[in-house]
Chain A
């Protein structure tokens, strides 16, 4: 393991996430199991328990989303510490195979975690917590992903060491049809980072909007709040799509600028 302030933060977030997921998954399982048959009094108790669970899940998911962003920053900071690494490809080589799986997981987690957070926000705005059971169920479904996400972080940062690695030079040569994504986005065309983040958030917001609409149709109590949330989500998604497209112009100019034929 290479101990730096960022790898330490990632390790702490990993352990913290792992402990909270184990604690929260038990509570979510109990609520999900009992809520359907619960009487009024037990339902009230389960609702109270749910509010505690909801707070814990918010902490878990927000900390995982922060870890998702920090993952790229941490990997970038490790480049000078790994001999032979010239971009994050080299860092991933040093932490292989966990790094590659972790990278894939990090690209999809925000889509999944956001679904729960958006539905919980709606649930809090409606009397009687009508989404209590679906939220507990979704959280239980998220547990394997959360465990994978946290354990891969821990496995990767405990594995990565300052060994000499072959970097992207061995894979991305002049004959390659595509450039090295890490060199392209993080080093030479950073404006594309704004494009990717904006487009990613836009797609995520549309996806969350569809999920909210799905539940709005199924659970009548949340209809006004759900419809309003869907409209807001899609509007914000549109804003991010526009930001991404606007950022695409300087990004393309940055890539085209200085080409050998321009002079």
Chain B
């Protein structure tokens, strides 16, 4: 009885460990599976270093059509986790061959970290920008 219970506990713990590892791998796979938007690039970043906040970003579009920015996520590279995310309602429109400012307002780790900022478009693609702070 005791041995069976102990075996059940070990099985539960192993299942938990596998589930956790699978989550991390799934998350990494999901991030790398995002089709990168090459027609839009982040050309400037506005930071508030006193408050440790990513205030907003300037983006430049070289696309021939208007594109909507649906959401933004901040993935901390060291932990592989999206530490901040926001959805834009209504979408932030970026005209063809123009520049636009996207307000973000994400908190950054005051001790410092590397991040990927993802701006997901309504075309199903994502603009990826690497950011090191401070």
Using a CB–CB cutoff of 8 Å, the interface residues on chain A facing chain B are 79-80, 85-87, 167-169, 172-174, 178-180, 183-184, 187-189, 192, 195, 199, 202-203, 206, 209-210, 213, 230-231, 234-235, 237-238, 241-242, 244-245, 248, 251-252, 255-263
Total contacts A-B at CB 8 Å: 140
CB distance from B125 to the nearest CB of A (A): 11
User: With the chains together, A183 CA to B75 CA distance in Å?
Assistant: 12
Q: Is the interface of B mostly helix, strand, loop or mixed?
A: mixed
Determine if B27 and A255 form an interchain contact, defined as CB atoms under 8 angstroms apart.
yes
CB distance from B26 to the nearest CB of A (A): 8
Across the interface, A184 reaches (CB within 8 A) one of B81, B120, B126, B130, namely B81
Find chain A residues with CB under 8 A from B118 CB.
260
Determine if A260 and B9 form an interchain contact, defined as CB atoms under 8 angstroms apart.
no
Q: Knowing that A173-B114, A263-B71 are A-B contacts, what are 5 other residue pairs whose CB atoms are under 8 Å apart, sorted by A's residue number?
A: A169-B77, A199-B17, A206-B6, A238-B9, A263-B73
Determine if A261 and B30 form an interchain contact, defined as CB atoms under 8 angstroms apart.
yes
The number of residues on chain B lying at the interface, defined by a beta carbon within 8 Å of a beta carbon of chain A, is 45
Closest residue of chain A to B30 (Cβ to Cβ) is: A261
Top 4 A-B residue pairs of the complex, sorted by shortest distance between their CB atoms: A263-B71, A258-B85, A86-B111, A260-B118
User: With the chains together, A256 CA to B29 CA distance in Å?
Assistant: 12
Determine if B120 and A261 form an interchain contact, defined as CB atoms under 8 angstroms apart.
yes
Q: Which of A86, A203, A230 has the largest count of B CB atoms less than 10 A from its CB?
A: A86
Using a CB–CB cutoff of 8 Å, the interface residues on chain B facing chain A are 2, 5-6, 8-10, 12-13, 15-17, 19-20, 23-24, 27, 30-31, 34, 70-71, 73, 75-85, 87, 109, 111-114, 116, 118, 120, 126, 130, 132
Closest residue of chain A to B128 (Cβ to Cβ) is: A260
Closest residue of chain B to A206 (Cβ to Cβ) is: B6
Given A206-B6, A241-B12, A241-B13, decide whether A263 and B111 contact each other with a Cβ distance below 8 A: no
Find chain B residues with CB under 8 A from A202 CB.
9, 12-13
Find chain B residues with CB under 8 A from A259 CB.
27, 30-31, 73, 82, 85
Find chain B residues with CB under 8 A from A195 CB.
16, 20
Closest residue of chain B to A210 (Cβ to Cβ) is: B6
Determine if B73 and A260 form an interchain contact, defined as CB atoms under 8 angstroms apart.
yes
User: With the chains together, A189 CA to B130 CA distance in Å?
Assistant: 21
Find chain B residues with CB under 8 A from A178 CB.
24
User: With the chains together, A118 CA to B84 CA distance in Å?
Assistant: 45
CB distance from A117 to the nearest CB of B (A): 19
Determine if A192 and B82 form an interchain contact, defined as CB atoms under 8 angstroms apart.
no
Across the interface, B126 reaches (CB within 8 A) one of A79, A244, A255, A260, namely A260
Determine if A206 and B16 form an interchain contact, defined as CB atoms under 8 angstroms apart.
no
Q: Which of A80, A234, A257, A259 has the largest count of B CB atoms less than 10 A from its CB?
A: A259
Find chain A residues with CB under 8 A from B130 CB.
174
Given A174-B116, A263-B120, decide whether A184 and B79 contact each other with a Cβ distance below 8 A: yes
In the complex, 16 of the A-B residue pairs with CB atoms within 8 angstroms, ordered by the A residue number, are A179-B79, A183-B76, A183-B78, A184-B78, A188-B79, A189-B81, A203-B9, A209-B6, A230-B2, A238-B5, A244-B13, A244-B16, A252-B19, A260-B34, A260-B82, A263-B70
